[in-house]
């Protein structure tokens, strides 16, 4: 199994330096989404004192020509702090700072979907939109081979791996546990984790989060996972179908509710929202992966617990539907629904904005999608 050079470095030696007192100054790691819409970048600056809120953080800049976000002749991009978390790698008082990216003219970069999402969420704040996202991912060696899989061949068929226990069923639990604890330290709203159906595939859940917080917390949870994997010398993939054939893909199932859905009689509000979603299926497919449906087309085949990308469907406790109403929600007549279409590599700002636009703002019409 190929491993990264980082994994071979002596972490005990590193620890003695990180244990040195740092005085009153603070390290702030600025994080942003690059031009691919999937990759994360980061760099660190020193602050004279510990920031108490995002408003205490200065703007910064970076070379957008090296992140697929600008031309070399006009490469400076602005980093505008948007959300702040505790740093689980350097520990208190150091910070992780999630940023929006602005171009030279102070307009949002094409890959910065947070600004639009933030404006939409502000319009529906009184509806109290809650989200919970179930992030599936696959652990790989640096050679791209699934972690723990035989070097020449495949593991046994799917069946024993989902929520499995044992060295022959759970591949990479050390990484999962490290990530979970790091998220708790960072005060990310992580709420659970489990092994998934394909070996070396796992899931963590973030939520419930209201409005813009959903995207902020999921992106930071992803960043922390990348950093934990870096320390272990493995790679995390959010590819929606990392292994072709009779293996489950990876999604980011999104649970959604509003104040009215959570109150008595909320099931009718959920059913009305599903009717609206049915009319905008292609618009949502376009919004649910960075390539406008192309990545998800490999996953949403109607097999392996997915719906067909060309057809909208809904049902109670149906994991083969576009929208699943949990059994308990059907019984209680209130609660939430699960949109099972978003791909593992979706932008959570795009997904949550699309749900609000369709279900709450009741926008009409669809954008044509060619995902062939």
Does residue 172 sit in the same domain as residue 75? no
pLDDT band at 371, cuts 50/70/90? very low
Q: What average pLDDT does the segment 60-85 reach?
A: 91
Does residue 250 sit in the same domain as residue 134? yes
Does residue 86 sit in the same domain as residue 138? no
Domain count, the chain: 2
Q: What average pLDDT does the segment 311-333 reach?
A: 92
Residue 68 has pLDDT above 90, yes or no: no
What pTM was computed for the model? 0.95
Task: Look at residues 67, 82, 111 and tell me which one is the last residue of a structural domain.
Answer: 111
Mean pLDDT of the chain: 94
Is position 257 within any domain?
A: yes
Task: Look at residues 60, 83, 111 and tell me which one is the last residue of a structural domain.
Answer: 111
Does residue 231 sit in the same domain as residue 333? yes
Q: What is the pLDDT of residue 204?
A: 98
Give the integer Cα–Cα distance in Å for 129 and 121: 8
Q: What average pLDDT does the segment 9-18 reach?
A: 91
Does residue 56 sit in the same domain as residue 199? no
Q: Are 340 and 319 in contact (CB under 8 A)?
A: yes
Does residue 125 sit in the same domain as residue 91? no
Q: What are the strands, taking DSSP E only, across 34-129?
A: 40-47, 60-63, 76-86, 95-102
User: Which tops the pLDDT comparison, 270 or 75?
Assistant: 270
DSSP state of 81: E
Residue 368 has pLDDT above 60, yes or no: no
Residue 349 sits in a domain whose CATH number is 3.30.590.10
Residue 372 has pLDDT above 60, yes or no: no
Q: Convert the pLDDT of each residue in 201-225 to its tens digit.
A: 999 999 999 999 999 999 999 999 9
| % of the chain at pLDDT higher than 90 | 88
Residue 3 has pLDDT above 80, yes or no: no
Task: Give the domain range for residue 234.
Answer: 121-359
Cβ within 8 Å of residue 273, ≥6 positions away: 261, 337, 358, 359
Does residue 167 sit in the same domain as residue 272? yes
User: Which tops the pLDDT comparison, 367 or 229?
Assistant: 229
Is position 367 within any domain?
A: no
| % of the chain at pLDDT higher than 70 | 97
Q: What is the pLDDT of residue 177?
A: 98
Task: Look at residues 111, 140, 160 and tell me which one is the last residue of a structural domain.
Answer: 111
Q: What is the pLDDT of residue 160?
A: 95
Residue 31 sits in a domain whose CATH number is 3.10.20.70
Does residue 195 sit in the same domain as residue 174? yes
Does residue 70 sit in the same domain as residue 178? no
| Torsions phi, psi for 235 (to 5 deg) | -125, 140
Q: Convert the pLDDT of each residue in 238-256 to its tens digit.
A: 999 999 989 999 999 999 9
Does residue 75 sit in the same domain as residue 180? no
Residue 72 has pLDDT above 90, yes or no: no
DSSP assignment of 257-316: E-HHHHSTTHHHHHHHHHHHHHHTHHHHHHHTSTTTTHHHHTT-BS-SS--BTT---EEE
Q: What is the pLDDT of residue 2?
A: 57
Which residues lie across from 46 on neighbouring strands? 27
Q: What average pLDDT does the segment 137-166 reach?
A: 94
């Amino acid at each position: 199994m190929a491993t990264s050079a980082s994994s071979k470095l002596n972490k005990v030696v590193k620890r003695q330096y990180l244990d040195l007192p740092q005085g009153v100054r603070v390290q702030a790691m600025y994080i942003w989404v690059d031009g691919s819409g999937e990759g994360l970048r980061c760099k660190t600056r020193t602050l004279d004192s510990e920031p108490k809120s995002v408003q205490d953080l200065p703007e910064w800049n970076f070379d957008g020509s090296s992140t697929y976000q600008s031309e070399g002749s006009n490469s400076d991009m602005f980093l505008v702090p948007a959300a702040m978390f505790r740093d689980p790698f350097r520990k208190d008082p150091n910070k992780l700072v999630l940023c929006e990216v602005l171009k030279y003219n102070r307009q949002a970069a094409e890959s910065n979907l947070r600004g639009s999402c933030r404006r939409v969420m502000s319009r529906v704040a009184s509806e109290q939109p809650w989200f919970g996202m179930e992030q599936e991912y696959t652990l790989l060696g640096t050679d791209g081979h699934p972690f723990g899989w035989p070097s020449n061949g495949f593991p046994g068929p799917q069946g024993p791996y989902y929520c499995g226990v044992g060295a022959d069923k759970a591949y990479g639990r050390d990484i999962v546990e490290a990530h979970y604890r790091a998220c708790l330290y960072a005060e990310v709203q992580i709420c659970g984790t489990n092994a998934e159906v394909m070996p070396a595939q796992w899931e963590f859940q973030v939520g419930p989060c209201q409005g813009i917080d959903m995207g902020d917390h999921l992106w930071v949870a992803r960043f922390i996972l990348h950093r934990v994997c870096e320390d272990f010398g493995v790679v995390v993939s959010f590819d929606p179908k990392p292994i072709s054939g009779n293996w489950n893909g990876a999604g980011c199932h999104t649970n959604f509710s509003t104040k009215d859905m959570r109150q008595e009689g909320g099931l009718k509000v959920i059913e009305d929202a599903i009717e609206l979603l049915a009319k905008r299926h292609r618009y949502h497919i376009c919004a649910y992966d960075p390539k406008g449906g192309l990545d998800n087309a490999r996953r949403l085949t109607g097999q392996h617990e997915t719906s067909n990308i060309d057809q909208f469907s809904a049902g109670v406790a149906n994991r083969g539907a576009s929208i699943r109403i949990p059994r308990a929600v059907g019984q209680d007549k209130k609660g939430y629904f699960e949109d099972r279409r978003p791909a593992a590599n979706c932008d959570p700002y795009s997904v949550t904005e699309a749900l609000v636009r369709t279900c709450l703002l009741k926008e009409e019409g669809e954008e044509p999608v060619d995902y062939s």
